[in-house]
Structure 1
Amino acid sequence: MTPSWRKPVGMLAILTLILVWCIVIVSFSDVIGGWHWIAQLVFYVVTGIVWITPLKPLLRWMETGKWR
């Protein structure tokens, strides 16, 4: 059994996704810093969960080679 090239590529894609997502969210910190702390909490909880959404198809592709 030969190792698949999809797993290292998928891991790099996941790390890139996390990095880009963090940069995007941090770029809004000046605006969000002025919000009430409860609004900030909701924003960061939601954005902390939303980045997981594209992982399911990516992980499926890493395992099977199919997006669906």
Structure 2
Amino acid sequence: MPPRARRFVAATGVLLFLALYVWAVISIGDRLPDSPWIDLLFYGVAGTAWGLPLIPLLRWAEQGGRRK
């Protein structure tokens, strides 16, 4: 697959993933007990954890024609 197509697929995947991730975080956050400390911990972790699942997708998109 050409690099330009890989980047397009990855960009579409990132947008779709982030839309679903934000929806899931908000849905879970609504079910948590009303406590500012729980909110701080939950949204702090959720706000930084979104990047971990995207690393393989972005690595694949930038791989280009290189084979290992």
So what's the TM-score if we normalise by structure 1? Answer: 0.80
Q: Tell whether 2:9 aligns with 1:27.
A: no
Provide the C-alpha distance between the structure 1 equivalents of 2:58 and 2:3, rounded to a whole number of angstroms: 16
Where does the alignment leave 5 or more consecutive residues of structure 1 unmatched?
none
Amino acid at match of 1:20: L
Where does the alignment leave 5 or more consecutive residues of structure 2 unmatched?
none
Counting aligned pairs with the same residue, the percent is 32
Provide the aligned length of Structure 1 versus Structure 2: 65
Q: CA RMSD in A?
A: 2.1
Considering fraction of residues, name the structure with more helix. Answer: 2
Higher relative contact order (CA 8 A, sep 6+): 2
| Structure 1 residue ranges (4+ consecutive) displaced by more than 6 angstroms after TM superposition | none
